Structure 1
């Protein structure tokens, strides 16, 4: 294993695994496996990139640090020469963490300063300019992320936001430096390290900027950011003769299907409405869940009744409705109840023969995959930017797609089910 990634949620792990497996043409990417939590055993010999998916984005910072350091130790034991800490391209965190505490802990363990922090993902509309994060043509705090139920993002100034979470000074390498190329960028990062700046926000407004950052960080022990930051890392290794390169491919998955959605993002709500036009859809009554009147058996019954028709079950609501539910029952109890609902429903469905599962939302994805007990996935072809086909390594014939809330086109859910069924054809 050459590159190791520590991701703070399951959809983010799939996102960056997709980036690394795909790479950049003509070189292609690396043979990539996504692990669910820290594996108890060594990686297979043919794995060039290992991505450890943690569910650490919204837990107490101290726990997130401990889990991330355990992941780091395992990746180093596999021989990784470069580590990436992956967080969301909308920098999901609170003023207390967890991005700053985890990134600083990893940097200290590796003994490095001047570590890039760049959540930019231009293919999904995320860009960083002069340290400010944009979603499309909107600053982060005017993009809908200010209403996130767990990590509301109210400040687009990443240097200021990260400083609140960090102990050491936070630097900035702005776009005027990035556009000068890898050499100038590398020098600027070295200067930041000389000033004692542990983490350094780096601008990127295009994929070319991400390739510049990758080239500048070819020898860096640690890089942090969204999945875009890994875009050029396989090219570095392939050109150096350390990896072979290629395109991701896995076998298609036959069998019954289900779509389970917990994200409340604008994009996901639009995708649900699009799916509703041609497929059976069930809205989860959160009041009924909290009062014990609706449980996993109800979801299973709905899916079973509509096998072959792409059934979708969702708990998504608009921000006002989410706020009202949290006010009534509490934020954590609602989140825990919905995670348990979807996780147990998925477990029962798979035990009964469901083999294609598409999940919308980072927290929901973590709950579902944890409940299924799958420990690792091979990375297949891309469905949409940031979302690959995942096929379980355990031989169970289970195919999964894990979608972050804001990712994917409006017809994503139907296309994802088709991609899981014909994964080999997508890669052709």
Structure 2
């Protein structure tokens, strides 16, 4: 193992893993600390990504789980480490990104690291320390409506200030070039009088990412979104043999689609799927709670449409989420996760082999219910969204999509690319 990565939710982990694969690394993704029977697969990989479920946990618990994962990766041979969080720095004043990064740097005895949430291919960029979503400052973007972590600040240093014990230093392209020209002297000027700190480099293009890795690719620990990982993987693999096994996206069998995300991208994808004739059923947590919508009825709907991909969704508009925020949001979220997980289990029992899930919390719940804990990472459906192949059941294909990712035709594309039947 060359590189070990921890991610704060499951779709974030698959996002990170997809870019490591693009960078040439044979990559395994594990749900939590790998079990003994998963270690064999990890030993065959260049990179291991551990998916945690810490994004919304209180800092103390998130730190403990993250440190445990980093320690496991180090004990099993990782020489480099990546702390993966959302490319929109999905956090709040009492969030855990700062505490986790601080704790890992302290454990590794690293005097500094980077905060690199950028993912230019998906419109996430940093300039002058400000995080942008498709050219709009984060706090003015649709992320301000996030149901769990509404984003009300765009400046990364200000986002970190209430969370981290260490300072953040913005790094322009000019300063980065100066640092490359005289590393020792420039680093000394920043480290003087500081136990630890973070650089926040300008990162608007892939070329910026290459310059960042050219300067910082040798340090032990980096943090951020998935954008920098492809470039770092290529840098670390220089002179090493790249994997020669091609993992295919296709498999035979029926497909199930599940959407729990309420992002604008997912709402558009659901609308497109329905408009083009896709079969769908909306899961209403209020109706589930009072018994008007039952698992038995859902099972009958699935059976009625056997042979056709079916989309089950619970996604709602920002206005609706705001209307229930103080009364039912947490309860309804739990109901949705449980119901979607039950649907996935039913589909597995009916020999479904293709699963497409939109939304981080929903994805984590579905994967836990299915019982898979270690995956090879195959080709990507769209940037940051790979096909995952359970190591212990290689006939299955699973695609987990962060809510904001993917084009409008994402569901159709996922179905087409994973369809290994003769009818394709």
| TM-score by shorter chain over 0.5 | yes
The residue that corresponds to 1:114 in the other structure is 112
Instruction: Give the Cα–Cα distance (whole angstroms) in 1 for the partners of residues 8 and 261 of structure 2.
Output: 17
Q: 1:280 to 1:172 in 2, by over 3 A?
A: same
Q: 159, 162, 176: which one pairs with 1:164?
A: 162
Instruction: Give the Cα–Cα distance (whole angstroms) in 2 for the partners of residues 416 and 351 of structure 1.
Output: 22
Q: Is the 8 A contact 1:21 1:30 kept in 2?
A: yes
* In the alignment, structure 1 residue 39 sits paired with structure 2 residue 21: no
| Correspondences of 1:76-91 after superposition (within 5 Å) | 76-91=74-89
The residue that corresponds to 2:219 in the other structure is 220
Once the 2 structures are TM-superposed, how far is the Cα of residue 183 of structure 1 from its aligned partner?
4.7
Deviations 1:221-258 (A, max 9, x none): 1100000121211222221x345356852362211111
The residue that corresponds to 1:294 in the other structure is 293
The residue that corresponds to 2:2 in the other structure is 2
Q: Give the number of equivalent residue pairs.
A: 416
Q: Is the 8 A contact 2:179 2:187 kept in 1?
A: no
Q: 113, 132, 135: which one pairs with 1:134?
A: 132
| Correspondences of 1:9-408 after superposition (within 5 Å) | 9-23=9-23, 29-41=24-36, 42-44=39-41, 45-178=43-176, 182-183=180-181, 191-196=189-194, 197-239=196-238, 241-245=239-243, 249-250=247-248, 252-277=250-275, 278-329=277-328, 331-395=329-393, 397-408=395-406
Once the 2 structures are TM-superposed, how far is the Cα of residue 124 of structure 1 from its aligned partner?
0.2
Q: Is the 8 A contact 1:37 1:52 kept in 2?
A: yes
Q: Is the 8 A contact 1:259 1:358 kept in 2?
A: yes
Instruction: Give the Cα–Cα distance (whole angstroms) in 1 for the partners of residues 11 and 147 of structure 2.
Output: 17
The residue that corresponds to 1:26 in the other structure is none
Instruction: Give the Cα–Cα distance (whole angstroms) in 2 for the partners of residues 248 and 90 of structure 1.
Output: 32
Deviations 1:162-190 (A, max 9, x none): 11111122222223334668556887556
Instruction: Give the Cα–Cα distance (whole angstroms) in 2 for the partners of residues 106 and 311 of structure 1.
Output: 42
Instruction: Give the Cα–Cα distance (whole angstroms) in 1 for the partners of residues 406 and 62 of structure 2.
Output: 28
Residue 120 of structure 1 aligns to a residue whose secondary structure is: coil
Q: Is the 8 A contact 1:115 1:189 kept in 2?
A: no
Q: 1:307 to 1:195 in 2, by over 3 A?
A: farther
Higher deviation after alignment, 10-19 or 169-178:
169-178
Instruction: Give the Cα–Cα distance (whole angstroms) in 1 for the partners of residues 273 and 185 of structure 2.
Output: 49
Q: Is the 8 A contact 1:297 1:345 kept in 2?
A: no
Q: 1:313 to 1:245 in 2, by over 3 A?
A: same
Q: 1:73 to 1:320 in 2, by over 3 A?
A: same
Q: 1:176 to 1:291 in 2, by over 3 A?
A: farther
Residue 164 of structure 1 aligns to a residue whose secondary structure is: coil
Higher deviation after alignment, 302-311 or 356-365:
302-311
Q: Is the 8 A contact 1:183 1:216 kept in 2?
A: no
Q: Is the 8 A contact 2:283 2:336 kept in 1?
A: no
Q: Is the 8 A contact 1:295 1:341 kept in 2?
A: no
RMSD, matched Cα: 2.0
Q: 1:96 to 1:349 in 2, by over 3 A?
A: same
TM-score, length of structure 2 as denominator length: 0.93
Q: 1:246 to 1:136 in 2, by over 3 A?
A: farther
TM-score, length of structure 1 as denominator length: 0.92
Q: Is the 8 A contact 1:72 1:106 kept in 2?
A: yes
